[in-house]
Amino acid sequence: MGNRRTLLQQFSAGAGGMLLTPFLQKLEAQERGTYRPPRRVVFVLFGNGFPEFGSVPKGVSLEVPETRQIPLVEHELPYDIEPFAPHKERLAIVHGLRGGRVMPYHGGGFGALSGLFNGGGTERFTKVAGESIDAAIARKLPGVFPILNLGIDPGNAHTKTYYCSSAWAPGRPIASQCRPELAYQSLFGGIGATKNDFASRRNLLDLMSGDIRKLKPLLSGVEREQLDHHIAALESLSNRDTILAEKFAAGLLTKAAPTLPSPFPVTWKDTVDAQFDIAAAALTAGLTNVVTITSELCAIRGRYTGVSEVNTHQLGHDDPDKALNLPGWKVLSMTRRHMAERTAALLERLRAAPEDSGTMLDNTLVVFMSDSAETQHSAAHNWPFVLLGNLGGRIRTNQLVLYPMREHQLGDRVAKESIGIGGKGLPSNPTINTLYNTLLHAVGDQRPHFNLIGEDRENPTLAGPLAELLIA
């Protein structure tokens, strides 16, 4: 036992110490008897709204006089979130929550994750009124990196960082990293960086291999398997750098960007894929416990390149994509499905990573939502959420939760025909603040409310937590 503890301490100071810190800390905590399984929360946000037909199973009425909880087991998921079907037992779909004081018209800006009014017009995209829910959870679930914010600026591959969704406190926004290669560098760093930095980073695991060989014989079978998954997470990103290093050496990157190498990806679709790869690697490597991915920076901007060349704002108005021969609302369904596919792939990565007697997915929650509530021009009468995972048994899943709503028709603005049924939550319904406080309770932060102000603080319906979701 003493030799194992000594080697762990020595290894922490070696070449692999920084990247394997989470794994080594876990082993040391197990030695002391203080280990507790880490919990993880991932927020996935997209723009242009999340209409009811995108997440409510067919045949379910949205004329809801009182709160309903409907098992999902016998229902087929709609096209937008069909990739979540293999995880139905871990799924909770929530409708009828109101935006409260948030106005998500053309995007909720910082209000989408704070539940606070950030002003009208463009002010809501720049004013930071208070703490966001991802930052609040990050305080409770600290990691090597407290929070990883990854953004995608649609159709603009030049944006490096952007303030859009998250904040530690009023006036203290958290930057979203919009370039995957820069996110990689900030997470995994450079070692002896040279002109071909991709090749330098790629060689990190080679430098660690000697220490890893010494460590493995002292680990149990399960610990060795967990170490293998930890290393595999790092190697998955290293493989991307191998390709980029070869392109750099061949002069292809220099040719594409005469001043500085400009690594792929470029399109919105490819950048989404790369950012999810970064998130999966960071989570499975234990570098962070909280991730936020914003696919449109909490606003309506740019183009979904790789899917459509039509402006995102026009698609939200149902303008057709003539090249695809599709109305705007169907193109938006395609983008939401792509986000769902990448989220499902992330879940599979976590399910493949062993943790204690289960997998990393067992202790994870993904919050899948639009920063624009249910539509581009939203008044936030219904803010749909899809929750995936139960956070170690704290969230009630395999259910569709419907708070009281009135049903109405959704129409194609161009074709003037019905495209589905919408729901309008009642004024007495709980808000997104109530859900966020529920998430805080689930991670052990039992606040009386989350970001409620004035008389709202005295309303137990708004304070939460939501009994339909939280397992006490």
Span of 167-171, 206-210, 254-258, 296-300 with lowest mean pLDDT: 254-258
Q: How confident is the model at residue 196 (pLDDT cuts 50, 70, 90)?
A: very low
Cα 455 from chain centroid (whole Å)? 32
Task: Classify residue 406 as exposed, middle or buried by CB count within 10 Å of its CB (0-12, 13-18, 19+).
Answer: middle
Cβ–Cβ < 8 Å for 111, 104: yes
Q: How confident is the model at residue 238 (pLDDT cuts 50, 70, 90)?
A: low
User: What would the pLDDT profile of 57-89 be if each residue is shown by its tens digit?
Assistant: 988 999 999 999 999 998 999 999 999 999 999
Cβ–Cβ < 8 Å for 38, 230: no
Predicted local confidence at residue 91, as pLDDT: 98
Q: Which residue has the tokens 């220099």?
A: 254
Predicted local confidence at residue 251, as pLDDT: 46
Q: How confident is the model at residue 244 (pLDDT cuts 50, 70, 90)?
A: very low
Cα 168 from chain centroid (whole Å)? 17
Whether the upstream peptide bond of residue 57 has omega within 30° of 0, thus cis, is no
Average pLDDT over residues 84-101: 97
Cβ–Cβ < 8 Å for 85, 93: no
pLDDT at 297 over 90: yes
pLDDT at 176 over 50: yes
Strand partners, 422: 408
Q: Which residue has the tokens 């696919």?
A: 295
Give me the chain's average pLDDT, please. Answer: 84
Cβ–Cβ < 8 Å for 325, 132: no
Strand partners, 387: 92, 367
User: 133-140 and 432-442 are packed helices; what angle lies between their axes, rounded to 10 degrees?
Assistant: 10
What's the CA gap between 294 and 89, in Å, rounded?
A: 26
Domains, the chain, in order of start with CATH, read 45-188+265-463 (3.40.720)
| Integer CA distances (angstroms), 450 to 13, 112, 131, 370, 436, in order | 41, 13, 9, 19, 7
Within 10 angstroms of residue 141's Cβ, the number of other Cβ atoms is: 18
Average pLDDT over residues 100-111: 92
Span of 30-34, 57-61, 245-249, 410-414 with lowest mean pLDDT: 245-249
Cβ–Cβ < 8 Å for 49, 242: no
Structure tokens of 320? 């057709």
Nearest Cα neighbor of 114 from 170, 48, 162 is 170
